[in-house]
């Protein structure tokens, strides 16, 4: 079934009149009020629907972003989020996630194995521990102590196929695929061998005007065992300042960490830049500072400010995101980019 047909079946109040893929200009403020954005339009289409159900019912942005990204975590066919995703180079699926609310409360997990919803465990770290991040076995033990089930270590069929393919050369080359030009290139899940990265980062503002964000991923496919990317690192893969705005990132995690990317985007918005300009300036910082060849690096940021304006920017063509607001179905925004 096509996603658009599925959405029509699901129904989300006023939202599901149609699911036209209108391409919006990157800075857009239809209404101040509930709004949710998430990275990579093809997964936003389903994830935002779940988040929107909560926002529409006057729920909190925090509940919305958790429920939204769980759609991707639960999708066994997603190449790069949740337990169905590509493994590391030793064959283990290891998951990273972070969450942040409107009160500077944060939680994160990294290198978490065999747990279905890392974002939920990140939220429990935030709400039930005196800490902000748990990793590896400790994170897994905490998850189980909170009632999470230890899932099987068997890879999903598409991940196994992709891994078998990778094993043929076993070449450790942590270079991300860069999307084909034109956007909306979130992978066909059954072709996940062609894709070695993606994340769902989601940021939302609720009816009270409060902001929250969530970010969850299996990180870079066939990564070194123990490698942690930007997604669980508050300030890198995700940042929220309820007075200013929220931002999240996808793409080459090492580069996002290098510049404290999402924090930087929020700080640019604090200086008065629009969400799109702020994302652009962060991407330009990567281009200026990275010791690597930017032709091999893709990074995309999305951001929202307190006025309900949103924007995104990427290093290369091909990045897009989905935005859902009052009275619209989830719409595709093709990000601008700085490299030819």
Q: Active-site residue among 39, 60, 199, 216? A: 199
Distance (Å, rounded) from C-alpha 56 to C-alpha 35?
10
Q: For residue 83, which of 91, 93, 69, 68 has the smallest C-alpha distance?
A: 93
Q: Pick the closer one to ligand ASP by CB: 242 or 290.
A: 290
Stated length of the chain? 340
Residue 326 CB, nearest approach to ligand ASP (Å)? 29
Q: How far is the CB of 179 from ligand ASP (least distance, A)?
A: 10
CB of 32 to ligand ASP, least distance (A): 29
Shortest approach of ligand ASP to residue 136 CB, angstroms?
A: 16
Minimum CB distance to ligand ASP smaller for 107 or for 261: 261
7 in Cβ contact with 16 (< 8 Å): yes
Q: How far apart are CA 53 and CA 326, in angstroms?
A: 11
Residue closest to 297 by CA, chosen among 338, 260, 267, 263: 338
> Which position has the token pair 């084909």?
180
Nearer residue to ligand ASP within complex by CB, 156 or 328? 156
Residues that bind ligand ASP (CB under 6 A): 197-199, 217, 219-220, 229-231, 250-253
CB 247 within 8 A of CB 235: no
CA-to-CA separations, 214 to 108, 119, 177, in angstroms, rounded: 10, 7, 23
Our CB check for ligand ASP shows the closer of 248 and 274 to be 248
DSSP of 218-259: --STTPPTT---STTSBTTTEEEETTTEEEEEEE-HHHHHHT
Task: Indicate if 199 belongs to the active site.
Answer: yes
Backbone angles phi, psi at 47, to 5 degrees: -65, -45
CB of 306 to ligand ASP, least distance (A): 26
- Toward ligand ASP, which CB reaches closer, 34 or 219? 219
Query: Which residues are designated catalytic?
Result: 199
């Amino acid at each position: 079934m096509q996603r658009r047909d599925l959405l029509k079946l699901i129904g989300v109040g006023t939202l599901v009149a149609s699911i036209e893929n209108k391409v919006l200009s990157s800075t857009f403020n239809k209404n101040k009020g509930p709004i949710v954005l998430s990275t990579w339009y093809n997964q936003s289409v389903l994830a935002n629907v779940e988040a929107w159900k909560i926002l529409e019912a006057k729920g909190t942005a925090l509940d919305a972003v958790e429920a939204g990204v769980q759609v991707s975590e639960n999708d066994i066919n997603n190449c790069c989020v949740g337990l169905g995703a590509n493994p590391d180079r030793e064959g283990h699926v290891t998951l990273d996630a972070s969450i942040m609310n409107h009160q500077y409360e944060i939680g994160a997990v990294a290198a978490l194995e065999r747990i279905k919803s890392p974002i939920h465990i990140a939220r429990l770290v935030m709400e039930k521990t005196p800490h902000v991040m748990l990793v590896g076995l400790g994170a897994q033990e905490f998850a189980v102590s909170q009632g999470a089930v230890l899932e099987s270590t068997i890879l999903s069929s598409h991940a196994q196929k992709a891994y078998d393919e990778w094993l043929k050369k076993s070449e450790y080359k942590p270079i991300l695929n860069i999307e084909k030009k034109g956007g909306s290139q979130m992978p066909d899940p059954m072709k996940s061998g062609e894709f070695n990265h993606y994340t769902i980062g989601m940021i939302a503002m609720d009816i009270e005007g409060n902001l929250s964000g969530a970010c969850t991923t299996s990180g870079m496919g066939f990564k070194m065992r123990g490698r942690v990317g930007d997604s669980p690192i508050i300030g890198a893969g995700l940042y929220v300042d309820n007075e200013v705005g929220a931002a999240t990132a996808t793409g080459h995690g090492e580069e996002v960490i290098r510049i404290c990317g999402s924090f930087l985007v929020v700080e640019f918005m604090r200086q008065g830049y629009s969400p799109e300009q702020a994302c652009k300036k962060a991407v330009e910082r990567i281009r200026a500072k990275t010791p690597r060849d930017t032709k091999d690096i893709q990074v995309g940021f999305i951001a929202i400010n307190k006025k309900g304006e949103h924007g995104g920017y990427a290093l290369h063509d091909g990045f897009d995101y989905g935005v859902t607001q009052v009275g619209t179905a989830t719409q595709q925004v093709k990000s601008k980019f700085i490299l030819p």
